[in-house]
Amino acid sequence: MKIVLPDKINMSDDYKNKIRELGADVFDDLPDNDELKKRIHDAEIITASYVDITSDVIDAAPNLKYIIVPAVGYEWVDTTYAASKGITTLNCPTFNSQAVAEHAMSLLMAVNRNLVQGSDTLRSGKWSQDFTGYELSDKKLGLIGYGNIGTRIEKIASALGMRVHYVNSKSTSDEIDALLRDSDFVVICAPLNDGTRNLVDERRLNLLKHTAILVNVGRGAVVDQSALAELLRVNRIRGAGLDVFDGEPLTGVPSDTIVELARLPNVIATPHIAYNTEEINDKQGAEILANLQSCIENTPINVVVRAIAS
């Protein structure tokens, strides 16, 4: 099958070479839309890392059978249109789970113990010990999402003596409300889809305890970002640790809205780097390779949206 990796993917050279051995064309830059269409014109399998796979792009690849997204989320692919054209979309659901779980807990701890504020104060030449946090042992951690990342967060948090509760796609609206109302800390690790978009809206944000900390390593649009910013501005909740944002760019410059949110004194924000560890390049390469091999054999794994039979 004709395989094209049309844009940059952060994986090791070893795995790039293994994928080339399958006969794949492997690129390592960020093409514009016209160049992207040229690269994938004859492809039967493509990946989509930093490029949007719109209906227009899909129409430029008449032989396309599979789209592999080298990430857990896949909202930059028009999966509905792809399915209608007989194309199956796969993702990579496990390679970054440990890295993201660790980053989530790092954000939680950093906000809870005022680590950035304390460090900045000392760097400015001041000695202040007026930074008070809470011990994590016996505190209630609520997880919104309980997949590969959520289960790993639970293991870390449980080792610290936290009491972990979760909701997932099977949970009722009342169960989600109860988790937000009762938790000392909330971590969002849910993917973005029609069921989770704006799941934590203004009403639900106002259910949080005044002492609560919200961490988001899932997708920004799961939360009403404007409402969250306002709660943080007026200190309605204690703080937030954010690695994902609504409207974040795949590359380039973040919006003023994102920057303003990141600058709030009770926010610690990172530019969607939770996945980014030294180990991840091999892990991601291995998962992409496994996906490619499954497509070549026409027994695709990690399917998120299956082609609609014609």
Among candidate residues 272, 287, 297, 306, the one labeled active-site is 272
154 flagged as catalytic: no
d(CA 154, CA 263): 29
CA neighbor of 202 nearest in space, from 218, 224, 180: 224
272 flagged as catalytic: yes
Does 61 fall in a domain? yes
Does 101 fall in a domain? yes
Shared domain for 38 and 85, answered yes or no, is yes
Shared domain for 53 and 142, answered yes or no, is no
In contact, 70 and 288? CB cutoff 8 Å: yes
Does 26 fall in a domain? yes
Where in the sequence is the domain holding 175, given as residue range(s)? 97-269
Q: At residue 69, what is the residue type?
A: V
Q: What is the pTM of this model?
A: 0.93
Cα 154 from chain centroid (whole Å): 17
Shared domain for 114 and 263, answered yes or no, is yes
CA neighbor of 227 nearest in space, from 237, 218, 217, 219: 237
The count of structural domains within the chain is 2
Does 81 fall in a domain? yes
CATH number for position 173: 3.40.50.720
Which pair of tokens denotes residue 95? 């390679």
Shared domain for 17 and 101, answered yes or no, is no
Cα 69 from chain centroid (whole Å): 13
In contact, 112 and 136? CB cutoff 8 Å: yes
Shared domain for 125 and 85, answered yes or no, is no
Shared domain for 90 and 131, answered yes or no, is no
Per-residue pLDDT tens listing for the chain (310 residues): 999 999 999 899 999 999 999 999 999 999 999 999 999 999 999 999 999 999 999 999 999 999 999 999 899 999 999 999 999 999 999 999 999 999 999 999 999 999 999 999 999 999 999 999 999 999 999 999 999 999 999 999 999 999 999 999 999 999 999 999 999 999 999 999 999 999 999 999 999 999 999 999 999 999 999 999 999 999 999 999 999 999 998 778 999 999 999 999 999 999 999 999 999 999 999 999 999 999 999 999 999 999 997 6
Shared domain for 183 and 254, answered yes or no, is yes
165 flagged as catalytic: no
Shared domain for 262 and 190, answered yes or no, is yes
Shared domain for 107 and 232, answered yes or no, is yes
Does 274 fall in a domain? no
Catalogue the E-assigned strands of 133-220: 140-144, 163-167, 185-188, 213-216
Shared domain for 20 and 150, answered yes or no, is no
Start-end of H helices in 9-74? 13-20, 33-40, 55-59
Shared domain for 8 and 131, answered yes or no, is no
Among candidate residues 219, 230, 236, 287, the one labeled active-site is 219
